Amino acid sequence: MSIFSDLKMYGRFAWGLRGFLKHTLTLEEAKAIIKKRMEEREINFLRLVRKGIFGYIKSPYLPLMKLAQCEMGDIENTVKTKGLEGTLHTLREAGVYVTFEEFKGREPIVRNGQVIPVKAHDFDNPYLSTYYYAKTGGTTGAGTRVMIDLEHIADNAPYLMVAYNGYKVLDSPIALWRGILPDTSGVWHILLGCRLGHVPQKWFTPITNQDIKPALKNRLATHYIINLGRLFDVPIPSPEPVSLDQAAIIAQWAAEMSKIHGACLIRVGVSTALRICIAAQEQGLDLTGVTLVGGGEPPTPAKLKGITRSGVRWIPHYTITEAGMVGLGCSQPVDGNDLHFFKDALALIQYPRYVPGTEITVDAFHFTTLLPTTPKLFLNVESDDYGIIENRSCGCPLESYGFAEHLRHIRSFRKLTGEGVTLIGSEMIHILEEILPSRFGGSPLDYQLMEEEDDHGFTKLSLIISPKIDIKDETEVIDMLLKALGKSSISADLARALWRQAGTFRVKRMEPIWTARGKFNPLYLARHSGR
């Protein structure tokens, strides 16, 4: 998928944008769309499988279906008897699933000794959505999908409409601190806001031309979209560069808007949200009335504590770029990472799997896309996450649309390897975000563990500590980290013993590394940095 690969696509986009901007969604329409999609989940699933998998000779799922000796008729029958989720479980048991690494094209699919080579783009949705509704195949044609797909954005707009209505922020000023292209999230959120008839006032971008030089075509594409929008009388804001260490600028905007209008909302990442809150506290700003909606990284307990301490309302947001919105925060949450799952566009099952190299089993999330506008086709695709799916009656407005499942405690089972020992990342994150800051000072954004290889090819784990933190004896930090690991679990204790022996840890005094897209991960895995 490209942003726009040729003039024809620019033309199609311009034509599409005009219609997209002309029609803003109403609350009633949003409710009706969700209701219809909830009722038609099974029909939608079967349509996607029939045309997008069995009707597409190059589908990477076809060899898996063949191995499982499964045909379209079998799937139809199983849906009738076991329902949608039951069918997905049956397929998973028969080996029809794709791991995160396979989906990203980093590893071939291996099932029953058979090797199926795959590339990431093999999972692209091969057809435009109109094709799925066409009675006959053929001439309706495939056409190439673009990354900024207006129909896909339109399909996600109803969630924000009903959620913002529930949070009572439909009339509040909105800003975002999201990147410009090639990071699509900024444009995505701008256009989503336009669809709601609620254009963001400010677009702060953490990516500046100094950090990366967006290719000319990306810079042009950003300007093209903004200018086109203005041509159609929609006042799309120009991106204003605000680097990560300038979070105070955004905190000031938020405090001011909240003072004038009583409320405001900013769309952020989890770590950038924390930066805003730390800046506000440093400047003595009052963030009462400010709502931060964020995602992109797991909102860990330590980060949440830092965010909510500032007085903001925190709404978690879970999105898979290749599939769309997965969930948005409940307004009667039990903790800071309690989301309603958007069941009308996705199906989700859990299936146990080992974390490679460990004895740990997690109930991995497997997602399946249901709507024809999905950028990629998911059929039991692991998202590298696991967590809790809970049926709970919370009484918030999102529940009334049938979104009864809550997702909680979502964590990545991304691994951390050194000296042949693999640790599940969450144990290390707890140490980096809570234990070290509480002993040596600073925030969760001041510590990071970086995996890299030394000149001999040995994995070294560098503990990066911001120079702001005053530490007299660096070995004391390593000792503390190893001691905490030893207490964490048996496998962590084993890792501790081996890592101490091998001198695997070393301290580096430098500012922790953020991705070019303004994300912060406490575990910076240099060799697995594709996410």
* Site residues, Zn ion (CB under 5 A): 330, 394, 396, 398
Instruction: Give the nearer residue to Zn ion in terms of CB position, either 396 or 435.
Output: 396
Of 379 and 398, nearer to Zn ion (C-beta) is: 398
Helix (H) or strand (E) holding 54: none
- Contact between 184 and 321 under an 8 Å Cβ cutoff? The reply is yes
Q: Residue 227 corresponds to which amino acid?
A: N
Smallest separation, CB 403 to Zn ion (Å): 8
**Nearest distance, CB of residue 163 and Zn ion, angstroms:** 10
376 bridge partner residues: 124
Q: Residues 348, 365: contact at Cβ < 8 Å?
A: yes
Instruction: Find the shortest distance in angstroms from Cβ 164 to Zn ion.
Output: 14
User: In 28-134, where do the E strands start and end?
Assistant: 109-111, 114-116
Residue 95's alpha-carbon distances to 336, 366, 380, 417, in angstroms, are 35, 13, 10, 27
Nearer to Zn ion, 84 or 330 (CB): 330
| Min CB(334)–Zn ion separation in Å | 10
Smallest gap from Cβ 428 to Zn ion, in A, equals: 31
Pick between residue 214 and residue 299 the one whose CB is nearest to Zn ion: 299
CB of 481 to Zn ion, least distance (A): 38
DSSP secondary structure code for residue 107 in this structure? S
CA-closest candidate to residue 365, choices 65, 82, 85, 156:
85
Least separation in angstroms between CB 392 and Zn ion: 8
User: Reduced to 3 DSSP states, what percent helix, strand and coil does the chain have, rounded to the nearest 5?
Assistant: 40, 20, 35
Using the minimum distance from each CB to Zn ion, give the nearer residue, 285 or 345. Answer: 345
User: What letter would DSSP give residue 146?
Assistant: B
Token pair belonging to 160: 């924000």
Contacts of 493 (CB under 8 A, 6+ apart): 485, 486, 487
Q: CB 42 → Zn ion: shortest distance, Å?
A: 25
How far from 350 is each of 87, 101, 361, 390, CA to CA, in Å? Answer: 13, 17, 12, 12
To Zn ion, the closest distance from the beta carbon of 309 in angstroms equals: 23
Query: Nearer to Zn ion by C-beta: 326 or 394?
Result: 394
Nearer Cβ to Zn ion (14/389) = 389
Least distance (Å) from Zn ion to the CB of residue 320? 21
Rounded distance between C-alpha atoms, residue 457 and residue 464, angstroms: 20
Residue holding tokens 């930090």?
A: 477
Judged by beta carbon, residue 364 or residue 398, the one nearer Zn ion is: 398
- CA 281 to chain centroid, in Å, comes to 27
AA identity, residue 127: Y
Collect all residues with Cβ–Cβ distance below 8 Å to 411 and sequence separation of at least 6.
Answer: 298, 385, 386, 387, 425, 426
CA distances from 390 to 269, 350, 402, 472 (A): 25, 12, 14, 46
Instruction: Determine the Cα–Cα distance for residues 299 and 104; give it in Å rounded to an integer.
Output: 23
381 and 122 Cβ atoms separated by less than 8 Å:
no
| Cβ neighbourhood burial of 101 (10 Å; 0-12, 13-18, 19+) | middle
CB closer to Zn ion, 166 vs 182: 166
d(CA 21, CA 194): 7
Closest contact distance (angstroms) between CB of 328 and Zn ion is 10
- If the CB atoms of residues 361 and 400 are measured against Zn ion, the closer one turns out to be 400
Residue with smaller CB distance to Zn ion, 79 or 394 = 394
Q: What's the closest the beta carbon of residue 336 comes to Zn ion, in angstroms?
A: 14
Q: Which two tokens stand for residue 143?
A: 């056409």
**Of residues 110 and 334, the one with the C-beta less far from Zn ion:** 334
Q: Which amino acid is at 241?
A: P
CB of 160 to Zn ion, least distance (A): 15
DSSP 3-state of 306: helix
Comparing CB distances to Zn ion, the nearer of 180 and 396 is 396
Q: Is 101 left (phi over 0), alpha (psi -120 to 50) or beta?
A: alpha
Judged by beta carbon, residue 335 or residue 454, the one nearer Zn ion is 335
Residue 200 CB-density burial (10 A; 0-12 exposed, 13-18 middle, 19+ buried) = buried
Smallest gap from residue 342 Cβ to Zn ion (A): 13
Can you tell me the distance from the alpha carbon of 247 to that of 244, in angstroms, rounded to the nearest whole number?
Answer: 6
